[in-house]
Amino acid sequence: MSKNDKSLEEADILKILIYSFSFVALCAILILFLIMPFLKEYKIQYSRLATQQIQNTKALNELQTLEKVIDDFKKINTQKLAQINAEFSQKELLEFMKNYFDDIKINLTPIKKEQEYLKYQFGVSVKMKNPQAFYSFLNDLQKYKNLIEISTPIEFKSEEKHINLKFKIKVFYAQAIQK
């Protein structure tokens, strides 16, 4: 610097500070005006994300609850599910019934009232020596390979040496579920 340069001596520090502060403030205001729309959009998107995460958590909890219910159902009803998916054979049913009854007559009857999974309906007429055979049949029918229901009315008619019995059998089969 030269000896004649007096620019620094004549400079007013207060004016320089005010101009510098004004420049910084103006830059800050411009930057805020540029960032504000992005901040507003960010808040909206963040709010949407938080809402979606809450919905996802609820849906996941519901899904896990339903999966647990289905798993519990499968555990409890494993035998019933196997029975409803087993192929039905009238001949095998007749052989099974011979363990409990005599003079067995099975007639296929039309299904009047549609029921889900109801495949066949039979009218059955049998003879038995004592009522205990029928109760044993009902008990063992729960373990039979097919899902079979005995429907009412059940007619008992006593003869001299045997009891005539008439009832209806419903066979359920889940062919729609088969893979």
How many Å apart are CA 160 and CA 118, to the nearest integer? Answer: 37
Both 71 and 21 in a single domain? yes
How many domains does the chain fold into?
2
* 46 part of a folded domain: yes
Q: Per residue in 82-134, pLDDT tens? A: 777 777 777 888 888 888 888 888 888 777 777 777 777 888 888 888 888 88
Domain extent at residue 168 = 87-172
Domain boundary among 44, 76, 108: 76
Both 49 and 100 in a single domain? no
Both 129 and 164 in a single domain? yes
pLDDT at 165: 84
* 42 part of a folded domain: yes
Both 61 and 107 in a single domain? no
How many other CB atoms sit within 10 Å of the CB of residue 172? 18
* 2 part of a folded domain: no
CATH (domain of 153): 3.30.980.50
Spell out, as residue ranges, where the chain has pLDDT lower than 50. 176-179
Both 119 and 97 in a single domain? yes
Both 38 and 96 in a single domain? no
Both 65 and 108 in a single domain? no
pTM, entire model: 0.54
pLDDT at 177: 43
pLDDT at 21: 93
Domain boundary among 24, 55, 76: 76
